[in-house]
Amino acid sequence: MGRRSILVAAGWVATAAVATLIGLGAIQLVGESITGTPGGVRSEAEIERALASPEPPPAATTSAAPATPGTVSATPTASSGVRRGFATDGGTAVAECGPGGVRLVSWAPAQGYRVRDVDRGPDDDVEVTFKGSAGEYELKVRCIGSEPVAVADD
């Protein structure tokens, strides 16, 4: 190998090392905005609390019905009776009672699950089924009075 080839290789290695150090320095200087999650990394408990939080009630309503076991919220809405969230190991859903019966407002599978089937209503009862490797969870909701309540599958 000639002297010129050695100088070219050494120059290339030195240039690559300098470029790498400059890049690492820039990332360190900018910090979390490039390499991290905006707002930080959230724990599983924080995510569950955020998903379980009810939508803010409309300005016209100020009262909330008491929650029952297995629910996360109960909020009257202007267009219907009570809106309530339900959680299973397979996922979460929000249902509300209205003039046409109960209807599912929203649903979301937990990590590792998918939505297999949804009957969103409005009807006498609605249901959503979450399926994952750990099993299948069916959530069935019916209105009792004007409040959505989880019921056992018939």
Q: Are 140 and 150 in contact (CB under 8 A)?
A: yes
pLDDT at 65: 37
Least confident of 7-11, 14-18, 44-48, 118-122: 44-48
User: What angle is formed at CA 11 by the lines to CA 5 and CA 15, rounded to 5 degrees?
Assistant: 150
| Reported pTM | 0.50
pLDDT in tens, 74-106: 444 445 468 999 999 999 999 999 988 999 999
**Band of residue 112 on the pLDDT scale cut at 50, 70, 90:** very high
CB 113 within 8 A of CB 131: yes
- The pLDDT value given to residue 40: 60
Tokens read off for 106: 């929203």
